[in-house]
A and B are shown apart, each in its own frame.
Chain A
Amino acid sequence: MTPFSTLVRVDRSRILRRPMTWILGIIVGGMTGLIYMSLALVLLLPEDTEGGLSAQESADIRELVIFPDGFSFGMSAIGGFATIAMIILAAGVFGSEFSWGTVRTSLMAGVSRDRFYASKVTTLVAIAGLVAIIAAVLAFGATLTVGLVVDQDLYADEWLTGGFILDALLMIVRTFIAMAVWTLIAATVALVTHSLAAGVGVTLGAYIGGDIVFSLLRAAGDIGRWAARLFPNEAVNALLSMNNTDPPSYVATDYLWITANLLFYTAAAIAIAIISFRRMDIIAASG
């Protein structure tokens, strides 16, 4: 039997050599660059001129993008783009195996269905972890650059502290968890439907549309708030809100439902994928 590490290595190679992976990376990097370039330019403009920012607006933006709050903003913005990129990548990794028919080639080479799924998911989750770290590096670098460009100051006293480093590590872990949950959901949808398009469409619909629906649900009082908590969006958003510089003060029951929700969706996504894949007629499913 081929070692599992070999399967993961092969999957990693396939993903890294795929043009789509790098296109998604360039898009996330480009979006990050555009946002920070715009914000830096805005801050460099003179205040209280016609068409420019008021002193208050300028101060608000400065607080948003410069240390210490700037890092949290960067993680939120880049993490959001990166989550969308991971959803597309995960749907592509599974969906394309069916459209190209390469799932047949792998299974006929003796890779069992469970190991085929497990190696891809392991690789994707590892990439999500790497992407969360890269998002932190980008957020740090962009915040540092804006501080240098706008104020000619590194703000080292804000980030060269044990507290900042610990917070940064926690933000990376929370961003990783959020990305991993959506990655697993996208992978499952693409696997069950044998379609990249369905994987991207359904998962992005739930990711973006869900936030709008559940914000309306929350307005319906306690019942609406608890109903919204049944869906992954609420738990992911609650988790990521801990990354804010002014996080909500959660109690034990909040941590409990967030953890239960995320564990449930993680387990459900994996279980549905494995059960469906084990029963799948691969010839009918693959192009």
Chain B
Amino acid sequence: MTVVVEGEFAVRIEDLTKRFGSFTAVDSMSFSVPHGSVFGFLGPNGAGKTTTIGMMLGLVPPDGGTVEIFGYDIRRALSQVLTRTGAIVEQPAFYPYLSGRKNLEIVAALRGIADRDAVDSLLDTVGLTERADANFGGYSMGMKQRLGLASVLVGDPRLLILDEPTSGLDPAGQREIQNLIQNLAKTGRTVLLSSHQLNEVQEICSHVAIIDRGKLAVTGPISDVIGEGRALEIGVDRPTEALELLRSRLDVEEARMDGASVVVVSDPEHAAAINRALVEAGFEVHLIRPRADMLEARFLELTSHAREEATDDAV
């Protein structure tokens, strides 16, 4: 019998590694997801997000490391993990020749749930009641994602793993799914959300991990990662020289370049002093303002090749 000690984390990943031949897709990855958190799992395309999620769910055999979910080691107690976890990996996948309702009934049956009312209730939760008897193959992308969300809720799991739940959706569909996720998060479940929508993650998530090329770049509460409410964008002539000056100041925790601007993490009350110091040093300060898109800036800073891609796109 497996003895389970849950601790403060719903998910604990230690030294997780996956290789495909000579290519290391996930390289000694370690991070933890606190209970009840909405955890953003970010990285550019090919960073290893889906492979990591696949290993968490037993879909991809790891080459090394451990994954514990609710204290259960997935290698020894995968079924215990899966009964407590609902997940969408890549796209929601259902039988195209069956209705949404029948597909959901199949997921319920596989989870050992025979309650038809529960299926109806889930269809209602995701707003699919009217189209529940139409074949899945005829669903729009938004309806497929909603059915996917309904399927992860079958059996009332405590951990939801959602891999790109808003991909392929128009802005209205994205907003709809985001609202659903926010409502789910309010129920006290732990949610791990992998997404390219950085604004969505910044809005919804309490914690975040950013990975790049299979390695963890940073993890922690989102406010710590992005310096939320304490980030200032400074527009100044000779920004590289200004950066050196700002890094030497005790009231600046962190300073870095972001395009032609300098971004500093500091107490907002120090903004006036920072401005004065720059002016006294002979710099022309033409902009100083709080940053609202810090997660995107942090993401681009940490994921080197994502930045290259962004530059290429701009060119």
Among residues of B, the one whose C-beta sits closest to the C-beta of A286 is B93
Residues of A within 8 A of B112 (CB): 1-3, 6, 110
Among residues of B, the one whose C-beta sits closest to the C-beta of A100 is B93
B86-134 with Cβ < 8 A to chain A:
86-87, 89-98, 102, 106-107, 109-112
A108 interface residue per 8 A CB criterion = yes
In the complex, A71→B85 CA distance in Å? 55
Residues of A within 8 A of B90 (CB): 101, 104, 283
In the complex, A117→B14 CA distance in Å? 31
In the complex, A1→B59 CA distance in Å? 18
Which of B50-58, B206-214, B241-249, B266-274 makes up part of the contact surface?
B50-58
- A108 with B61, Cβ < 8 A, contacts A100-B95, A102-B93, A283-B51 known: no
Tell me whether B54 and A281 are in contact (CB under 8 A): yes
Question: Distance (Å) between the CB of B73 and the closest chain A CB?
Answer: 16
A107 interface residue per 8 A CB criterion = yes
Question: Distance (Å) between the CB of A68 and the closest chain B CB?
Answer: 43
Question: Distance (Å) between the CB of B106 and the closest chain A CB?
Answer: 6
Tell me whether B54 and A108 are in contact (CB under 8 A): no
A118 interface residue per 8 A CB criterion = no
- A110 with B61, Cβ < 8 A, contacts A101-B90, A283-B89, A286-B93 known: no
- A283 with B110, Cβ < 8 A, contacts A19-B97, A100-B94, A101-B93 known: no
In the complex, A103→B97 CA distance in Å? 16
B304 interface residue per 8 A CB criterion = no
B24 interface residue per 8 A CB criterion = no
- A110 with B54, Cβ < 8 A, contacts A10-B106, A10-B109 known: no
Question: Distance (Å) between the CB of A79 and the closest chain B CB?
Answer: 28
Tell me whether B59 and A281 are in contact (CB under 8 A): yes
Residues of B within 8 A of A110 (CB): 79, 82-83, 110-112
B141 interface residue per 8 A CB criterion = no
Tell me whether B95 and A107 are in contact (CB under 8 A): no
Residues of B within 8 A of A256 (CB): none
User: How many residues of chain A get a CB closer than 8 Å to chain B's CBs?
Assistant: 31
Tell me whether A282 and B109 are in contact (CB under 8 A): no
Among residues of A, the one whose C-beta sits closest to the C-beta of B137 is A100
Residues of B within 8 A of A108 (CB): 57, 59, 82, 85-87, 89
B60 interface residue per 8 A CB criterion = yes
Residues of A within 8 A of B278 (CB): none
Tell me whether B58 and A107 are in contact (CB under 8 A): yes
B261 interface residue per 8 A CB criterion = no
Residues of A within 8 A of B102 (CB): 17
Tell me whether B54 and A282 are in contact (CB under 8 A): yes
Residues of A within 8 A of B85 (CB): 108
B78 interface residue per 8 A CB criterion = yes
Tell me whether A281 and B98 are in contact (CB under 8 A): no
Question: Distance (Å) between the CB of A32 and the closest chain B CB?
Answer: 26
| Most chain B CB inside 10 Å of its own CB: which residue of A101, A109, A283 | A109
Among residues of B, the one whose C-beta sits closest to the C-beta of A19 is B97
A105 interface residue per 8 A CB criterion = yes
Tell me whether A10 and B110 are in contact (CB under 8 A): yes
B37 interface residue per 8 A CB criterion = no
Question: Distance (Å) between the CB of A1 and the closest chain B CB?
Answer: 6
Tell me whether A104 and B89 are in contact (CB under 8 A): yes
Question: Distance (Å) between the CB of B233 and the closest chain A CB?
Answer: 39
A106 interface residue per 8 A CB criterion = yes
A127 interface residue per 8 A CB criterion = no
B151 interface residue per 8 A CB criterion = yes
- A106 with B97, Cβ < 8 A, contacts A101-B90, A112-B78, A281-B60 known: no
| Most chain A CB inside 10 Å of its own CB: which residue of B93, B98, B111 | B93
In the complex, A284→B98 CA distance in Å? 25
- A105 with B93, Cβ < 8 A, contacts A1-B112, A2-B111, A110-B83 known: yes
Question: Distance (Å) between the CB of A275 and the closest chain B CB?
Answer: 13
Residues of A within 8 A of B87 (CB): 108
Give me 6 A-to-B residue pairs in the complex whose CB atoms sit less than 8 angstroms apart, sorted by A's number. A2-B112, A7-B110, A9-B109, A104-B59, A105-B151, A108-B87
Shortest Cβ-Cβ A-B pairs, 5 listed:
A101-B93, A109-B110, A110-B82, A282-B59, A283-B54
Given A106-B110, A108-B57, 18 other A-B residues pairs in contact with their CB atoms under 8 A: A2-B110, A2-B111, A6-B112, A10-B106, A14-B98, A102-B93, A103-B93, A105-B107, A107-B57, A109-B107, A109-B154, A110-B79, A110-B112, A279-B61, A281-B59, A281-B61, A283-B54, A283-B90
> Which residue numbers of B lie inside 8 Å of A, CB to CB?
50-51, 54, 57-61, 78-79, 82-83, 85-87, 89-98, 102, 106-107, 109-112, 151, 154
